[in-house]
Amino acid sequence: MLTQISFLFLLGASIWIFTKKSKKIIRNIKLGKPVNRGNQVMMRLKTMFRVAFGQSKMAVRPIPAVLHFFVYAGFIIINIEILEIIIDGLFGTHRVFHGLGILYDFLIGTFDILALIVWLGCAIFLIRRNILKIKRFSGAEMTSWPKSDANYILIIEILLMSAFLTMNAADLKLQTFGIAHYLSAGSFPVSNFLVPLLPDSPQSLILLERSCWWFHIIGVLASLNYLPYSKHLHILLAFPNTYFSNLKPRGALTNMTTVTNEVKAMLDPLFVPGQAASGKFGAKDIEDLSWINLMNAYSCTECGRCTSVCPANLTGKALSPRKIMMDTRDRTSEVGRNIDKEGVEYKDDKSLLDDYIKREEIWACTSCNACVEACPINIDPLEIIIELRRYAVMEESRAPASLNVMMSNIENNQAPWKYSPADRLNWAKKQ
């Protein structure tokens, strides 16, 4: 009974802590401006299942795509057994679903094989990051914490799979000994090879099996509560992030209603503009971005695919789309902490633009959408960059000199060049 009470307390505390932190993240995301992405439900569902569940955009890089699929699918499927572990922990039973017979043997055998695949996948990912040192895993924004975070979760998964396989091996050996409580159930095609390595003493085996059982469930619950602090939050957010992703064609920028109405009024004297939302042009801080932008930031897994295809970054410019998303997430989290400590009205005299993202970064962008196309879960760094640019130009009149010349030419000559409209066809007269 003491064991069951301890398990109940551990389970309840883990769920409570995770729920509390999740509510704060949802609160932080809601700091962004409202935007309607509730249309085209069927198209959004198809996008979510294709991109998030099916991982279709991972296939561009086949080797990591296969490894990621096995780690992702294996870890998710293996955690189905968590349901059995929870029931066993609460009611003091052991392998409560053993009555499923052949189906149970098939499931446990599948979990056993997948555990090995997850173990190998994580080991290869660790080698790629720390020994092969794949270039896209480095960069100015990849400081000690982002690199450590990636390693922590891989090491945790390896330890969890090791405990899972050892637990099964000890369980199998106890079954063969006919120890009470360890009834014959399950098939162990991988753990079976670990049995000769285990002690022969029933007491030692029970201690080993129980230790691995507790390590596995505590590790899973600890990992659950680690997710909100980690880039691996994308495990949960990838699905809503792809569901609410932008379905418009690449390169279709979002027009501002106030500007659109002004242009229509200039072209049509009879046009009566509707009541547009008040506020500043563009974005200076996270409250000026949409909640979609902030969810994008929390969904980013820092894989570096966006930065690795960015033409500005490849030519040595300061821009890194990954850094844009990481900075947005860091600033959003900072604003959330300020709210927790000082209240909603508190202002810290800092902003996303300048304090986190430098102007050199936003003006290095070519707006090519390569980063958006490369992201495995449809994150859109370009939308944030465009909003920061809009603020700089339309609120502060602080555009680079070359752009000011171009915009002046458009205003005076109806074209980006310095030539008069009357001289526009002069080139044709010399043919």
The pLDDT confidence band at residue 431, using thresholds 50, 70 and 90, is low
The pLDDT confidence band at residue 78, using thresholds 50, 70 and 90, is confident
Tell me: the pLDDT tens digits for 363-419?
999 999 999 999 999 999 999 999 999 999 999 989 998 888 998 898 888 888 888
The pLDDT confidence band at residue 278, using thresholds 50, 70 and 90, is low
Looking at the domain 257-266+280-413, which fold is it?
Fumarate Reductase Iron-sulfur Protein; Chain B, domain 2 (1.10.1060)
Q: Name the residue type at position 228.
A: P
Sign of CA dihedral 228, 304, 38, 353: positive
Q: Which residues of 155-177 are buried (b: 16+ CB within 10 A; e: fewer)?
A: ebbbebbbbbbbbbbbbbbbbee
Mean pLDDT over 240-249 rounds to 94
Closest C-alpha to 225, from 24, 72, 429: 24
Mean pLDDT over 219-224 rounds to 93
Percent of the chain with pLDDT over 90: 72
**Domain residue ranges of the chain, discontinuous segments joined by +:** 2-18+31-243, 257-266+280-413
User: Does residue 48 carry a pLDDT above 60?
Assistant: yes
The dihedral over CA atoms of 183, 184, 190, 192, expressed in degrees to the nearest 10, equals 90
3-state SS, 369-425, equals: CHHHHHCCCCCCHHHHHHHHHHHHHHHCCCCCHHHHHHHHHHHHHCCCCCCCHHHCC
The pLDDT confidence band at residue 420, using thresholds 50, 70 and 90, is confident
Q: In this predicted structure, which of 2-6, 271-275, 406-410 has the lowest mean pLDDT? A: 271-275
Distance from C-alpha of 94 to C-alpha of 211, rounded to nearest angstrom:
14
- Do the Cβ atoms of 135 and 308 come closer than 8 Å? yes
Percent of the chain with pLDDT over 70: 98
User: Does residue 306 carry a pLDDT above 70?
Assistant: yes
pLDDT on residue 194? 96
User: Does residue 89 carry a pLDDT above 70?
Assistant: yes
Q: Taking all residues of the chain, what is their mean pLDDT, rounded to a whole number?
A: 92
